[in-house]
Amino acid sequence: MRRVAALDCGTNSLRLLVADLDVASGEAVEIDRRTTIVRLGQDVDRTGAFAPAALARTFGILDDYADAIERHGVGVDAVRFVATSAARDVSNRGDFVSGVAARLGVEPDVISGDEEAWLSYDGATRELVGRLDLAGPLVVLDIGGGSTEVVTCDAEVGRSLDIGSVRMTERYLHSDPPTGAEVAAVTTAVDEAIDGLHARLLSAGTLVGVAGTITTLAAMALGLPTYDRQRIHHAWIETSALREAIDQLIAMPVAARRELGFMHPGRADVIGGGALILGAVVGRLGVPGLLVSEHDMLDGIAWSLA
């Protein structure tokens, strides 16, 4: 077993996974998994720079994560911090890089959209390879705050799209709840992005959905009173139930979303944008349902250290 620490810093959330990995058997023993909404990508789409308050929130949580990594006895050579959409093009990326390095002893890997897509696929499908009850090909959908990844087993046709829950919300969803015109604007933007997908990505045998937007909507479709990872992991959600959950969520004001027992309070104001992305992708792929996975890019980052 090798103990590793994987960190995924996206547009909306900062996540940590400490795990013991056995390369020979493929076994992973989870030691510590955390998700904190820091909204690093606050206004990045508009300003092209990280807001000082967003950096402060991120570094404050990172201090806690660094303490946990040290407490779990993970060496610096077994730590990987991955930054995605929000960190790719900001003008003050140096401030972010130096702040991460000061706290972890490693600099962040600001990865490409293609690598992000492949890490999502690897993390989501390791447990699914060889399952005879799943029609192929498996296509993984990862809806983040700033981008959305769609990838199948052939990484050459995986794509990272510049549509995400935070990005769509900041651009189009300005009413609470959103108006029909705002919903239509998001749907148009998503459809235009989907037009660029490789044909293989539009012919999924099984669509595997990962990350907070999808797992939260799964909890809603399943009628869970609170968030339950065990119930959500590898749950099958029929398309009709998924669409009903999306429609209900979009019609809710943010305050009502926050009252849902399975909703992370920091996700309530942007999940509408992610829900509309999910609805559009499911519609274009024409799949009968969605297999939900609690394992995702964070797990892929961990395995990249093994």
Q: What is the pLDDT of residue 156?
A: 59
Res. 29: pLDDT tops 60: yes
Q: To the nearest 5 percent, what fractions of the chain are helix, strand and coil? A: 45, 20, 35
Q: How many CB atoms lie within 10 A of CB 187?
A: 17
Burial of residue 126 (CB within 10 Å: 0-12, 13-18, 19+) is middle
Question: Tell me, which fold does domain 2-111 have in CATH?
Answer: Nucleotidyltransferase; domain 5 (3.30.420)
The pLDDT confidence band at residue 279, using thresholds 50, 70 and 90, is very high
- Which tens digit of pLDDT belongs to each residue from 35-74? 999 999 888 888 889 999 999 999 999 999 999 999 999 9
Q: How far apart are CA 291 and CA 183, in angstroms?
A: 25
The pLDDT confidence band at residue 88, using thresholds 50, 70 and 90, is confident
- Which tens digit of pLDDT belongs to each residue from 235-266? 999 999 999 999 999 999 999 999 999 999 98
The pLDDT confidence band at residue 127, using thresholds 50, 70 and 90, is confident
List all residues 6 or more positions away from 150 whose beta carbon is below 8 Å from its beta carbon: 117, 139, 140, 141, 142, 158, 159, 161, 197, 201, 281
Looking at residue 224, the DSSP 8-state letter turns out to be -
Structure tokens at 217: 């909507």
Res. 155: pLDDT tops 60: no
SS3 154: coil
In the chain, which segments carry CATH 3.30.420.40? 2-111
- Which tens digit of pLDDT belongs to each residue from 133-151? 888 889 999 999 888 989 8
Q: How far apart are CA 290 and CA 176, in angstroms?
A: 28
In the chain, which segments carry CATH 3.30.420.150? 116-298
Q: What is the pLDDT of residue 157?
A: 63
The residue-averaged pLDDT of 20-34 equals: 92
Judge contact between 107 and 99, C-beta under 8 A: no
Q: DSSP string covering 100-133, please? A: HHHHHSS--EE--HHHHHHHHHHHHHTTTTT-TT
Judge contact between 82 and 108, C-beta under 8 A: yes
Q: How far apart are CA 63 and CA 104, in angstroms?
A: 8
Compute the half-sphere exposure of residue 262: CA atoms within 13 Å on the CB side of its CA: 23
Q: How far apart are CA 285 and CA 185, in angstroms?
A: 20
Phi first, then psi, for residue 88 (nearest 5°) are: -75, -40
Judge contact between 28 and 17, C-beta under 8 A: no
Of the CATH numbers 3.40.50.720, 3.60.20.10, 3.40.50.450, 3.30.420.150, which one belongs to the domain with range 116-298?
A: 3.30.420.150
